[in-house]
């Protein structure tokens, strides 16, 4: 009887003025360890000590469990009940150290050093208001998030449907293209043959004209040399022409003349053309170019008498009519036709290949048409392939649970600080440009989700941006938070060329109570 009176008295003392049903410094959940009895078992070590040793400001238990409400056991933690706010543990060394640590002031109960006010109610209220606000934000944001999910799923479905369609179109297009390729080949074969025929005929015609011209030129020279007009060129007539002075000694010797006359005494027109002209035409040609170079009057007059023996067909023309059937030749012909229309000499006119005949023209037109159709199909096929690749890359992206972030792709968000305007285009890139103007610097392209193991979708990584001088490639870490709208809240550069963005979006909101898992864990 006396014992129990003593125990109740001791307990009241232990609990001080707060009339606790258990010793000071422990939560109610631990009260069972401290039930009034004659002795107390240290909670972990199991050592037995008299009950009145609890909170006697002397550390008896190795585990410190006999001094939860004093600073005697340094490893102990003191439980602040903090009614009106949330309970917490503080280091027991802080008990009665003259500083108010618990909002209920219970850690300073001696009252000698300091009188603590209980402001738990006040901060508890503020805290509850904050939480309420946050909860509302999460709730409202989550409603918007539902739209995002719907949009995301719609986008995925649309892209998938489009991919199916483009794949089909691509297959059809491949067939059409191969069909048109055959048609093109079919149209090009007769076109090539007709063009070659035309060009060959033209080559023959040109050769004929050239030979005729050459003959005419030879005859003019013949007449020139045949000074007595007896229709023969004789030794004496050759000797009278200084052009035949091979050794340039001022006279054309008998031997020189003989050499030109191929040892004959005299030649008529036909022999001249056939035997002599090939030997002498170069002389007349070089004579002509010499006089052109000098530009003297006499030479001019000679030239008037001696016609230009250079074949009139320009060498380049040979290439033009090489029988090559590609479109380029046709184009070349058209272009040169247009250019030549105005300032063509009659001679050039003669050298120009005549237009293709009607039948060839029709074959060319048909082949042009087949080529155009084929090129068209080829371009469409390539467009379809590009679109397919883009769609596939889009569909390969991880847009979070239920594609909640998909609608962010294609949008960009900016914020400006003192120096730079920062831009974030989710799933694409992050960049920076000086506020004062100047070029954009890449801070990275979409890399991957980089949140922690509890939620990988809580952060994004943009990497492989513009290289930092003497440093890494620029990169940006984007931390997401719940917000009523998509907004780039901040951008900073915690370490050189490594940027950190804060981005708010309804897509990150959650209706789960964020504090649900954050219960205060009792110690001991």
The residues that touch ligand MAN, with contacts defined as CB under 6 A, are: 432, 441, 468-469, 493, 496-497
- Strand runs (DSSP E) across 239-341, as ranges? 266-268
Angle formed by the axes of helices 277-294 and 297-305, to 10°? 150
Beta carbon nearer to ligand MAN, 407 or 432: 432
Nearest to 225 by CA among 242, 247, 248, 249: 242
CA distance 27 to 23: 9
Calculate the CA dihedral of residues 154, 156, 158, 164 and round it to 10 degrees: -150
Beta carbon nearer to ligand MAN, 93 or 441: 441
Nearest distance, CB of residue 471 and ligand MAN, angstroms: 7
- Strand runs (DSSP E) across 98-184, as ranges? none
Nearest distance, CB of residue 439 and ligand MAN, angstroms: 11
Which single residue is written with the structure tokens 């300032």? 343
Nearest distance, CB of residue 443 and ligand MAN, angstroms: 8
**Alpha helix locations (H) across 226-275?**
235-239, 254-260, 269-271
Nearest distance, CB of residue 70 and ligand MAN, angstroms: 54
Secondary structure of residue 89 in the 3-state scheme: strand
CA distance 478 to 13: 56
Cβ-contact 474, 444 below 8 angstroms: yes
Beta carbon nearer to ligand MAN, 243 or 493: 493
Beta carbon nearer to ligand MAN, 235 or 468: 468
Beta carbon nearer to ligand MAN, 46 or 494: 494
Nearest distance, CB of residue 495 and ligand MAN, angstroms: 9
Beta carbon nearer to ligand MAN, 173 or 478: 478
Spell out the SS3 assignment of 338-359. HHHCCCCCHHHHHHCCCCCCHH
Nearest distance, CB of residue 104 and ligand MAN, angstroms: 48
Nearest distance, CB of residue 498 and ligand MAN, angstroms: 9
Beta carbon nearer to ligand MAN, 151 or 441: 441
């Amino acid at each position: 009887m006396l014992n129990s009176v003593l125990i109740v008295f001791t307990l009241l003392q232990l609990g001080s003025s707060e009339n606790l049903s258990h010793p000071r410094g422990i939560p109610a959940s631990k009260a069972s360890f401290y039930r009034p009895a004659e002795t107390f078992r240290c909670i972990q070590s199991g050592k037995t000590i008299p009950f009145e040793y609890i909170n006697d400001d002397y550390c008896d238990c190795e585990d410190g469990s006999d001094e939860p409400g004093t600073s005697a056991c340094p490893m102990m933690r003191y439980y602040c009940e903090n009614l009106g706010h949330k309970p917490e543990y503080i280091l027991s060394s802080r008990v009665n150290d003259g500083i108010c640590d618990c909002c209920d002031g219970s850690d300073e109960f001696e009252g000698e050093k300091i009188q603590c006010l209980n402001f738990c109610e006040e901060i508890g209220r503020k805290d509850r208001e904050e939480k309420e606000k946050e909860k509302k934000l999460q709730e409202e944001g989550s409603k918007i998030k539902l739209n995002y999910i719907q949009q995301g799923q719609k986008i995925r479905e649309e892209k998938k449907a489009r991919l199916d369609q483009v794949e089909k179109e691509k297959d059809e297009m491949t067939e059409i293209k191969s069909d048109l390729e055959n048609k093109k080949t079919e149209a090009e074969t007769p076109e090539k043959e007709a063009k070659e025929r035309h060009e060959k005929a033209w080559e023959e015609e040109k050769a004929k004209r050239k030979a005729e011209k050459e003959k005419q030129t030879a005859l003019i020279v013949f007449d020139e040399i045949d000074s007595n007009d007896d229709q023969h060129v004789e030794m004496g007539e050759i000797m009278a022409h200084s052009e035949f002075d091979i050794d340039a000694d001022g006279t054309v010797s008998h031997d020189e003349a003989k050499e030109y006359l191929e040892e004959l005494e005299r030649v008529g027109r036909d022999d001249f053309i056939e035997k002599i002209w090939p030997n002498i035409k170069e002389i007349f040609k070089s004579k002509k170019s010499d006089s052109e170079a000098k530009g003297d009057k006499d030479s001019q007059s000679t030239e008037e008498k001696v016609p230009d023996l250079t074949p009139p067909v320009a060498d380049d023309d040979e290439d033009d009519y090489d029988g090559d059937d590609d479109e380029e030749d046709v184009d070349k012909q058209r272009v040169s036709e247009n250019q030549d229309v105005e300032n063509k000499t009659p001679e050039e006119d003669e050298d120009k290949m005549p237009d293709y005949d009607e039948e060839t023209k029709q074959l060319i037109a048909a082949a042009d048409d087949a080529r155009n159709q084929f090129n068209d199909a080829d371009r469409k096929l390539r467009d379809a392939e590009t679109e397919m690749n883009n769609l596939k890359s889009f569909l390969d992206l991880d847009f979070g649970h239920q594609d909640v972030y998909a609608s962010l792709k294609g949008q960009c968000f900016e914020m400006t600080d003192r120096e730079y305007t920062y831009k974030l285009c989710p799933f694409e890139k992050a960049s920076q440009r000086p506020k004062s103007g100047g070029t954009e610097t890449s801070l990275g392209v979409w890399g991957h989700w980089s949140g922690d193991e509890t939620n990988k979708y809580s952060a994004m990584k943009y990497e492989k941006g513009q290289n930092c001088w003497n440093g890494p490639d620029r990169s940006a870490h984007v931390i997401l938070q719940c917000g009523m709208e998509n907004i780039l809240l901040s951008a900073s550069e915690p370490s050189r060329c490594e940027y950190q963005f804060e981005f708010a979006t309804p897509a990150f909101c959650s209706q789960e109570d964020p504090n649900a898992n954050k219960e205060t864990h009792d110690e001991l």
